[in-house]
Structure 1
Amino acid sequence: MTNHRPIRLFVDAHVFDGPYQGTRSFIGGLYRELAGREGIELYLAARDTAALKEHFGERDGVHFVPLRSRSSYRRLLLEIPALLRRHRIDFAHFQYIAPPLKRCRYIVTTHDVLFCDLPGAYTMGYRLLKRWLYGRTARRADILTTVSAHARGAMERHLRVPRERVHLLPNGVAPHFYGGAPKGEAARYIREKYGLECFVLLVSRFEPRKNHALLLRLFFGSGLHRQGYRLVLIGSPTLPVPELDELLGRLSPSEQEALHHLPWVPPEDLPYFYKAAELFLYPSKGEGFGIPPLEAAAARTPVLCSNALALGDFDFFGPDHLDPADERAFATRFQQLLQAPTPESELQRRAALVQARYCWKRSADTLHQLILAHHQNLPA
């Protein structure tokens, strides 16, 4: 039987209420492509509906639903089920964990199971709870997705979810990271607005697995601050990192002067930072995906990237794709890239590959088709 009214699709977008993270990029990129499509009525929910409106814009068929609860338990147990009933929602999309009470068909995206991939970084209680919650939610999902081939395999191994049940919706890179201002113009913009030039860049939240400590050891251990280089870290602290705190506490005054931490920059400035950087480093010990090195590659900036876990998919980085556990190899390549930067022809090749492989429209098309296929079996 065919439904004639639009499909009502609810998205739990509470991640827009907090600091920037990968799931926010995922929801933002995916639903900017799906918003306004014929036959889809989109309901985006967060406490900060102003942030949603700023990101998605106001258009026909897109509704911004205010959430009241600050508690994730209350949101999932009470508030969202009530909203699904009130708006007669057909599909609801959640990240990792969905409400136990099903009011419609659930789409669930499990971005990673890093607590299984990197057990030493998490407590036993955390691992047991997350494994149970993620596994239960995945098994109850009507449409189950993830963002990388590595994550799909990890879900099969650790959550006992059959691989064929998990659909791939890779993250994309926003169009404004490609092209744009030339490097010289970007460098001038960053120098005039932020007082920064000749810098090495990392864009990442602060967590132990993000491996900022390695970057500090490489940068200051090689004496780059004495050669006029600066180290720029963009991202907010989300978990304590004792190793990093210890290193920061031992920095000399001249080293402290060379280190610049920006917890947040306006989204429109981020492409300028990528383009102006001499080198972008991403030494993470493991990711479920890893968008920043792709954004840097799209901006045609030299990148030295970890190959751990899902980052192993980024094979186009070639010799600049290394195991961060091999600190000596990482340090050697770091120095080589500063002395002999990646040729422009190679940077253009990488940008083209990123654009071809990681496209929000393609992922949105995949999700749209999955929804349409499941919708055929819904009662009118």
Structure 2
Amino acid sequence: MLLGIDASRALRPASQRTGTELYSRQLIEALLRLAPTRPAPPSLRLYTDVAPDQTTRQAWAGADWRIIPSPRLWTHARLSLEMLRRPPDVLFVPAHVLPLWRPRRTLVTIHDLGYLFFPQAHPLRQRLYLDLTTRWHGRVATHILADSHATAHDLTRRLGVDARRISVVYPGFTPTMQRPADPSLLQRTAAAYGLSAPYFFYVGTLQPRKNLVRVAQAFAHLLTRWAAERPDAAPPQLVLAGKPGWLSDQVLAPIRGLGLGDQVRILGYVPQTDLPALLSGAAALVFPSLYEGFGFPILEAQACGVPVLTSSTSSCPEVAGAGALLVDPHDTDAIAAGLWRLLTEPALAQSLIAHGQHNLRRFRWEIAAQQVFDILQL
């Protein structure tokens, strides 16, 4: 049996990866590891628009590569032509779009319907494209993977997809996102970025859907309360890490307008090598997003032994389990109160950390790969 996989998103440079690229890369690696152990080991063929670097080629030694360069229309022209000439038995698209011409059996992952819930967070052209391709997947894909039950519910409720054609397969968490063994690395990394404890940490794209303006407003309330109740203690910082996204000016300008100075640090893109130490040194991850199809930062914080504050909506409670303090993402006062509790109630923070560590057992890439093979009956 030949399983073809669109690996184009998996080979994006690290600085361009978001959750979907991470998902694609990690799941492909797990599928390659697991394939030889299956009762009838399938062959895996990876389709890409660029050649993999030597490290990836060596790590993915079991893959049969099909490198198809194309400056434009790679999926619907070049990949479609490849499907017409040399189709695999099954085509899996983990983080992109099904080609117009495809084999009879297809599997596609739909990560979220954020464009429907927050259309203002997407350019019009992108929103129309997402709507067209997502609805098309809902009609033509043999089977659909959803990252969470929340997304699966959205697919049936908002797009009318038959629930029997949807399987929920939880992603894993990034293996390298672990608390550093050397505690001094936390202080050195924080100092390199000009941070001082305690600090709250956010990591992700800087865009309106992530609710960062309310986070900053809640943090301003926290600083006022801190100055009144703990005048002798060093005030906390709010640290935002991630590359700017669509409408980032609508996020950054209001935050800077609060006049909080160095108490709010906007780091921009942070290399993956620095993230474990920065996250591990935080008082908490603050992630009250307005909508998430999954929410990788929640698991990354739990893996680093950090308490989490996240939303009580969309997939966030499902992913976080008992390892997070849930708040209404539309309620600035609730966010501020949650931040205060995480700073001033060490028993609560430790409880969330312990529950978070236990929660991670549900999220393993090997489990996800096993489920994918089972769904495909490979």
TM-score class, shorter-chain normalisation, is 0.7 to 0.9
C-alpha offsets along residues 291-322 of structure 1, whole Å, 9 cap, x if unaligned? 10111012110111112211131463477111
Question: What residue is the counterpart of 2:362 in the other structure?
Answer: 357
Q: Is the 8 A contact 1:211 1:285 kept in 2?
A: yes
CA–CA separation in structure 1 for the residues paired with 2:240 and 2:366: 30
Q: CA deviation at 1:358?
A: 1.2
CA–CA separation in structure 2 for the residues paired with 1:249 and 1:205: 17
Q: Is the 8 A contact 1:151 1:310 kept in 2?
A: yes
Cα distance change, pair 185–70 in 1 and its aligned pair in 2 (3 A): farther
C-alpha offsets along residues 152-194 of structure 1, whole Å, 9 cap, x if unaligned? 1111112111111101111111333345426x33422413543
Question: What residue is the counterpart of 1:83 in the other structure?
Answer: 82
Percent identity among equivalent residues? Answer: 22
Q: Is the 8 A contact 2:307 2:352 kept in 1?
A: no
TM-score (norm 1): 0.84
C-alpha offsets along residues 325-354 of structure 1, whole Å, 9 cap, x if unaligned? 122111111112112233435412321222
Question: What residue is the counterpart of 1:185 in the other structure?
Answer: 184
Which residue of 338, 342, 354 maps to 1:333?
338
Q: Does 1:20 align with 2:17?
A: yes
Question: What residue is the counterpart of 2:208 in the other structure?
Answer: 208
CA–CA separation in structure 2 for the residues paired with 1:57 and 1:159: 41
Give the letter for the 2:92 counterpart.
H
Q: CA deviation at 1:100?
A: 1.5
Q: Is the 8 A contact 1:200 1:230 kept in 2?
A: yes
Task: Figure out how many residues of one structure are paired with residues of the other and give that number.
Answer: 361
> SS of the counterpart of 1:200?
strand
Cα distance change, pair 80–352 in 1 and its aligned pair in 2 (3 A): same
Q: Is the 8 A contact 1:45 1:64 kept in 2?
A: yes
Question: What residue is the counterpart of 1:236 in the other structure?
Answer: 243
Q: CA deviation at 1:40?
A: 3.2
Cα distance change, pair 61–130 in 1 and its aligned pair in 2 (3 A): same
CA–CA separation in structure 1 for the residues paired with 2:368 and 2:84: 28
Structure 2 unaligned regions, length at least 5: 228-233
C-alpha offsets along residues 73-116 of structure 1, whole Å, 9 cap, x if unaligned? x1122111233355542222223531121245321111111222
Q: CA deviation at 1:209?
A: 0.6
CA–CA separation in structure 2 for the residues paired with 1:70 and 1:258: 44
Q: Is the 8 A contact 1:14 1:45 kept in 2?
A: no
> Which stretch shows the higher mean deviation, 231-240 or 115-124?
115-124
Question: What residue is the counterpart of 1:273 in the other structure?
Answer: 278
Question: What residue is the counterpart of 2:193 in the other structure?
Answer: 194
Structure 1 unaligned regions, length at least 5: 1-5, 374-380
> SS of the counterpart of 1:293?
helix
Question: What residue is the counterpart of 2:159 in the other structure?
Answer: 159
Q: Does 1:264 align with 2:261?
A: no
> SS of the counterpart of 1:99?
coil
Q: Is the 8 A contact 1:30 1:364 kept in 2?
A: yes
Q: Is the 8 A contact 2:202 2:285 kept in 1?
A: yes
Question: What residue is the counterpart of 1:29 in the other structure?
Answer: 26
Cα distance change, pair 189–86 in 1 and its aligned pair in 2 (3 A): farther
Q: Is the 8 A contact 2:200 2:236 kept in 1?
A: yes
Q: CA deviation at 1:368?
A: 1.1
Cα distance change, pair 360–104 in 1 and its aligned pair in 2 (3 A): same
Q: CA deviation at 1:56?
A: 6.8
Q: Give the root-mean-square deviation of aligned CA atoms.
A: 2.8
